[in-house]
Amino acid sequence: KLVTSKSGFKLPLILALLSLLLFLFTGCLSMDGLGNTSINALNGTTVKIQCTFNSCYKIDVTRFSVNWTYQQPHNETEEKLMNFDQKKGMVPLHPAKFANRVMFIGNLEKNDLSITLSDVNLEDVGIYNCYVKNPPDRTLGHGRITLNVVTKLPPPRDSTIAVAIGASVGGALALIILSMVVVKCLRRHQKQELISEEKMEEEGKLEAEGVAEEETK
């Protein structure tokens, strides 16, 4: 037997309406996926590897879990970098490859799980995985960040060509507009001359007709 409220509506219907309202006001029903990104880092610098998530539920540290892993290119084996401990928070695992170079800089209250990797070198190239689970959400969030390390920054873009092209295009447009104005003025001038000639011819005809009438009289 279904439980009903005093107004006669069935309780499941009310719960469904409340869920719909929750979705409309919060914009989510479960954890959003974190997606895939790619970042570049200059050799010898510190790089931020960002990971954030959206969830309809506040973090419960007794059930919340986070794992950061590293994966070499073309290798399915993942090496753990950092995980979440309900008493200690985010704990770096200090694998030999990374020593003490991995640091948590995120903010759990803002659903930010970002880390930094200092003294980046060419061997750090690879995939950094961010796994997060926030019950009662059942979805496991997974962020996949590909890190590329470069030895020098790309040269600044030369804007000379762009400026030259822009100037050429602007000059061409100016010439076209000027030509249109000149043509329009010439046509207007020719039209005025034509009107003046027609007017003079009409006046001449009228004068001739007047003289003829006077001679007839």
| Whether residues 145 and 206 fall in one domain | no
| Whether residues 176 and 106 fall in one domain | no
Q: Is the pTM of this model over 0.85?
A: no
| Whether residues 57 and 135 fall in one domain | yes
CA dihedral in degrees (151, 145, 73, 94; nearest 10)? 80
Q: Which two tokens stand for residue 84?
A: 């979440």
The answer to whether residue 78 sits within a structural domain is yes
| Whether residues 56 and 103 fall in one domain | yes
Q: How far apart are CA 99 and CA 103, in angstroms?
A: 11
Indicate if the alpha-carbon torsion angle 52, 105, 153, 120 is positive or negative.
negative
Domain enclosing residue 79, as ranges? 30-150
| Whether residues 118 and 206 fall in one domain | no
From first to last of its 217 residues, the chain has per-residue pLDDT tens of 333 334 444 555 555 555 445 444 444 544 554 668 999 999 999 999 999 998 889 999 999 999 999 999 999 999 999 999 999 999 999 888 898 999 999 999 999 999 999 999 999 999 999 999 999 988 889 999 999 999 987 776 655 555 556 667 677 776 777 777 666 667 766 766 666 666 676 666 666 666 566 666 5
| Whether residues 43 and 144 fall in one domain | yes
Q: Which two tokens stand for residue 106?
A: 């995120």
Q: What is the CATH number of the domain that holds 80?
A: 2.60.40.10
Q: Give the pLDDT confidence score for residue 212 in this predicted structure.
A: 61
Q: How far apart are CA 131 and CA 32, in angstroms?
A: 12
| Whether residues 109 and 204 fall in one domain | no
The answer to whether residue 18 sits within a structural domain is no
Q: Give the pLDDT confidence score for residue 23 in this predicted structure.
A: 43
**Residue that finishes a domain, picked among 117, 150, 183:** 150
8: left (phi > 0), else alpha (psi -120 to 50), else beta?
A: left
Alpha carbon 153 to its chain's center: 23
Q: Give the pLDDT confidence score for residue 47 in this predicted structure.
A: 97
The answer to whether residue 3 sits within a structural domain is no
Please count the structural domains in the chain: 2
The answer to whether residue 112 sits within a structural domain is yes
| Whether residues 86 and 166 fall in one domain | no
**Residue that finishes a domain, picked among 97, 116, 150:** 150
| Whether residues 105 and 178 fall in one domain | no
